[in-house]
Amino acid sequence: MNPEHPLSTRRPVIISCALTGGGDSTGVSPHVPVTPEQIANEALAARAAGAAIVHIHVRHPTTGKPSRDPALYREVVQRIRASGSEVLINLTTGAGGRYVPDATDPNRNGITGGMATSEERIEHVLELRPDICSLDVGTVNFGSYAFLNLPAEVERMARAIREAGVKPELEVFDLGHAAFARHLYERGLFADPPWLQFCLGIPWGAPATTEAMQAFKQMIPAGALWSAFGISRHQFPMVAQSVLLGGHVRVGLEDNLYIAPKQLSPGNAPMVERAARIIRELDAEVATPAQARELLKIG
């Protein structure tokens, strides 16, 4: 028996770090990055801790509210690229899909600025050409509002993203989303290998459970790569479960503000460090940016 053999074939696991998100979290934690400089600095700290990919939203620098301003994305990306970091940049396209019927006229959106055209949602992606961008592939009741991603619009965005040479990360919140992602892949909209993110524990999407993760895994195309995250207290249990089921992982202040019960995380890096420890304890290795590029076939 060769005692070194089990460790010589450790699977590289990609850590994605979702740095800030667009939720109303800045009033809960002072550690959520808001300005482009803060977001870029968190990206570099996450990379130093082991993240191969950083997932980026932007916020209004004064109010901390979510923003779609291309100038803010431009500054964040320029700062990261100027640093010389090899971390893969993943820009969100999720902003612009929030809908709550107006109390007096349900044909109107009660959320000011909640909806945007498909072109507006990917404007910054087409300009900045990040390595990856998120692509939400289905509609879901997202807590108190509807998160609208209609099939025709998803397809339009997918075609434009592929033409731009950007790798889409397909965000799936429920089983129907996984089925639609597979349908689009079979029609040739995504290059190999498709890259999916299982989003678990969000009210009222799929729960953060082993059973839900297994169900998602069974729905995706053969040869696809996938990652998963659980929100709030489910974050680190879902890291372990994803590694055990052959997936990759996501952590970060977008999904969870706490590094331990009742203890706010002082930033994204401690979350990445904890995820890296879990990965190594399960006899896998933390993927480098170069390994992530190779796995995802990103040039």
Digit-coded pLDDT (tens) for 117-162:
999 999 999 999 999 999 999 999 998 899 999 999 999 999 999 9
Question: Which domains does the chain show, CATH number per domain?
Answer: 5-296 (3.20.20.70)
* pLDDT at 209 > cutoff 70: yes
179 with 219: CB under 8 angstroms?
yes
The two structure tokens encoding residue 252: 């970060």
Beta-carbon contacts of residue 20 (< 8 Å; ≥ 6 apart):
32, 33, 34, 39, 42, 56, 57, 58, 59, 253, 254
pLDDT at 256 over 60: yes
| Prior bond of 193 cis (ω within 30°) | yes
Q: Are 40 and 76 in contact (CB under 8 A)?
A: yes
Backbone conformation region of residue 11, classed left if phi is above 0, alpha if psi is from -120 to 50, else beta? beta
DSSP H/E element including 157 = helix 151-163
Residue 221 gets which letter from DSSP? P
Give the whole-number percent of the chain exceeding pLDDT 90: 94
Instruction: Name the 3-class secondary structure at 189.
Output: coil
Give the confidence band of 1 by pLDDT, cuts at 50, 70, 90.
very low
Q: What's the pLDDT score for residue 50?
A: 98
For residue 148, what are the β-bridge partners? none
Nearest to 15 by CA among 252, 258, 192, 259: 252
Residue 290 has which token pair? 């170069």
Torsion sign across C-alpha atoms 153, 200, 124, 96: positive
Q: Are 229 and 238 in contact (CB under 8 A)?
A: yes
Contacts of 116 (CB under 8 A, 6+ apart): 68, 95, 96, 97
Whether the per-residue pLDDT at 59 is higher than 50: the answer is yes
